[in-house]
């Protein structure tokens, strides 16, 4: 189910996946993603903390071994998982490239996993 949802949302540039929940369902367009009030602008939080059954890990600039093709996301994901605690190395996860993966040095990935 998580894979299908991520696949569906991948092409929707007007959507963002956040770990929190919308604080005010009447305000969903043109709002900043804030969990806390902005001390400079006074903007109110637009998200609130809620427990989720999943986690998304951003890994930016993680070194890749020489010869690793950044287009091979399965290989990059396996390399990334090997650096994580054992629970993540053994769990099923989805890997996706972030916007600068393959453009900047190192792996720039998001790993998604369900929590137990």
Tens of pLDDT, residues 53-66 = 999 999 998 999 99
For 70-96, the pLDDT digits (tens) are 999 999 999 999 999 988 888 888 998
Q: Give the mean pLDDT of 27-33.
A: 88
Q: In terms of Cα–Cα distance, which of 107, 44, 49 is closest to 74?
A: 107
**Rounded Cα gap, residues 103 and 66, in angstroms:** 16
How far apart are alpha carbons 8 and 13 in whole angstroms?
A: 11
Residues 80, 45: Cα–Cα separation, whole Å: 33
């Amino acid at each position: 189910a998580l894979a299908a949802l991520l696949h569906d949302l991948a092409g929707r540039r007007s959507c963002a996946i956040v770990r929190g929940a919308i604080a005010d369902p009447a305000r969903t367009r043109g709002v900043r993603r804030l969990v806390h009030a902005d001390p400079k602008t006074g903007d109110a939080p637009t998200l609130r903390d809620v427990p989720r059954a999943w986690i998304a890990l951003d890994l930016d600039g993680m070194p890749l071994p020489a010869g690793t093709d950044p287009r091979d996301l399965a290989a990059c994901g396996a390399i990334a998982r090997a650096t994580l605690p054992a629970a993540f190395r053994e769990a099923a996860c989805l890997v996706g490239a972030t916007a600068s993966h393959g453009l900047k040095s190192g792996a720039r990935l998001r790993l998604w996993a369900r929590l137990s």
